[in-house]
Amino acid sequence: MVMHLEPDFLLRAVIRTPALRLALGSFRSLDSEGIIRHDADPVAGRLLAGALSSAALMSVLLDEGEKYSIRINYPGPAAGVLVEANADGRVRGLIRNPHVMTTADSVEIACGDAGATVAVTRSKDGRILNSGEVRSAFIMPSAALGYFLSVSDQIESEIRCEVELQPDPAAPVRSADGVLLQAMPGCDLACFDTIRKRLLEPAAGKVLRDRSCSPEDKLRTLSMLLCRTVEPPEMGVFPVPAARFACNCSAERMREMTLQMLGGEDFEKLLQENPNPAVRCQFCGAEYRLGAEGPSPSQGKE
């Protein structure tokens, strides 16, 4: 049987009763692109894919022109992940140690036994709108970010991501599906806690991984499961741009960043020692040459 590989998608929905916000998406292409660009091994790839998927789901909470900058730090050899998600669907990210399996053969060992530190900044046009940092006992990015939204933003939330990898260098992610659940004003929190538990049950995971239905049908099926109804609850559904791996680096940006890091005098010394030094973007891997005649890319980006 051949699995139907649907294109990435992202849906946002509001359920009138019991006042819930849902975001449902598929992120196979997004996560594959991130893993390939960073040559991440399976353990690092699972963490990176979870972070990219979760950030993409959170992007539905942004207003036009806004951006999330997300940092999850671990005490273990994985070190941490850094992801940025924009309201228009552009997402980029990295894992500090993409080859963590040289010292850790599981996610638990890679992350360490002291949980994670989660820091999230919301900004627009370089201006910080709000930011927060929490300590989480959860190590998987989806659970850690759901906890962050509940504690720091004080909006009861849960994020679940189902990521399946495969041994294919050209398409390392077989499937990547996720859902964001939030309580809206007027939602009974005891009811929400029950629905949150249903989201974490195996039945919800089965719906997320289902390839036999359209995104809209999957959303309706999941909402019925969560709300325990025989008909889809009354809700508004709002398609949003599918998340995609996209980097905003450029030769000019890289030159400016290098100049800020080194200072004018040291930058000139660098050019004297090496007239055409190379600088690589940590997010997408694109390499730029910062010669004295001005920056120029030596490796294009998709």
The CATH number assigned to the domain holding 50 equals 3.55.30.10
- For 254-274, the pLDDT digits (tens) are 878 777 777 777 777 877 787
Does residue 160 sit within a domain?
yes
72 and 219 in a common domain? yes
Residue 3 has pLDDT above 70, yes or no: no
Domain CATH number, residue 279: 3.90.1280
217 and 186 in a common domain? yes
Q: Which residue type, as a one-letter code, is found at position 76?
A: G
**Which tokens hold the place of 59?**
């992007």
Domain tally for the chain? 2
103 and 160 in a common domain? yes
Q: How far is CA 169 from the centre of its chain?
A: 21
Q: In which domain, by residue range, is 291 found?
A: 251-297
Residue 172 has pLDDT above 80, yes or no: yes
Residue 300 has pLDDT above 50, yes or no: no
Residue that wins the pLDDT comparison between 299 and 98: 98
Does residue 3 sit within a domain?
no
Can you tell me the mean pLDDT for 41-62?
98
227 and 129 in a common domain? yes
Residue 273: per-residue pLDDT: 81
240 and 108 in a common domain? yes
260 and 237 in a common domain? no
Q: How far apart are CA 191 and CA 252, in angstroms?
A: 52
Can you tell me the mean pLDDT for 28-41?
97
Residue 47 has pLDDT above 70, yes or no: yes
93 and 212 in a common domain? yes
Residue 2: per-residue pLDDT: 37
Q: What is this structure's pTM?
A: 0.90
Residue 12 has pLDDT above 90, yes or no: yes
> 51 and 201 in contact (C-beta within 8 Å)?
no
Residue 163 has pLDDT above 70, yes or no: yes
Can you tell me the mean pLDDT for 184-200?
96
158 and 116 in a common domain? yes
Does residue 171 sit within a domain?
yes
**Torsion angle (degrees, nearest 10) of CA 194, 240, 173, 248:** -120
279 and 176 in a common domain? no
